Amino acid sequence: MNTDRKALWAVRELGLPAIVKPCVDCPGTRHRPSGRFRVNANGKLLDVWLLLCCEACGNTSKVPVHERRHVQQLEPARRLAFENNDPAMVRALAMNASLAAKSGYRLDWTGTWRLETDLPFYSPQDPHSLTVFVGFELPAPIRVERLLMSGLGLSRGEVRRMVASGRIRLPLNLETKAHQDFAFTVEAGSGS
């Protein structure tokens, strides 16, 4: 009889991260994508901006995506996505950490995700090992320790003890902020 058990945890998307940068019109610092791009052509050169909306005052600001790019340097499909305000392109750029770093703002992932686990719940004390696959719908950086506490229903101390004793085997450190799929194993418990 195969006693290996598997579970799937999914980090589900509740919304896009807030873009944290000063508003030029008010003291607000939190922005959301407006769902639109601004594309300007100057001869054969293009400028593309992601348009943002301040949560406090509602005014629009922009984040440069491409500046002074020759029209032939952009794939036609990408250029059309900008021109048609493609929602998938807005979503991808709103979560793009390298664009955030380049443009001098940060992403606030608070309230953007929830952890969904398989039912029925498997107790960490079960006498059979459990392999858990964690999948991310969005690249929200979440501490591995927080995922384990939430998914296993354990305290921080219990999670740390189980990792230290080798009962939980992880490919990442507990303090690591995971944002990509990974798997871990909960070794067989005492059965008590």
Q: Please provide the average confidence, as pLDDT, over all residues in the chain.
A: 89
Domain boundaries, the chain: 5-14+111-186, 18-108
HSE-CB for 139 with a 13 A CA cutoff: 10
Question: Does 35 or 192 have the greater pLDDT score?
Answer: 35
pLDDT tens column, 158-185? 999 999 999 999 999 999 999 999 999 9
What pLDDT score does 192 carry? Answer: 42
Question: Residue 34's closest CA among 21, 15, 49, 51?
Answer: 51
Q: How confident is residue 7, by pLDDT bands cut at 50, 70 and 90?
A: confident
Question: Does 187 or 29 have the greater pLDDT score?
Answer: 29
What pLDDT score does 34 carry? Answer: 93
pLDDT tens column, 21-78? 999 899 999 999 999 999 998 888 999 999 999 999 999 999 999 999 998 888 999 9
Q: How confident is residue 120, by pLDDT bands cut at 50, 70 and 90?
A: low
Question: Which tokens is 41 given?
Answer: 């052509």
Mean pLDDT score, 114-119: 82
Mean pLDDT score, 72-94: 93
What pLDDT score does 121 carry? Answer: 59
pTM: 0.76
- From the number of C-beta atoms within 10 Å of its C-beta (0-12, 13-18, 19+), residue 186 rates as buried
Q: What is the CA radius of gyration of the chain?
A: 22
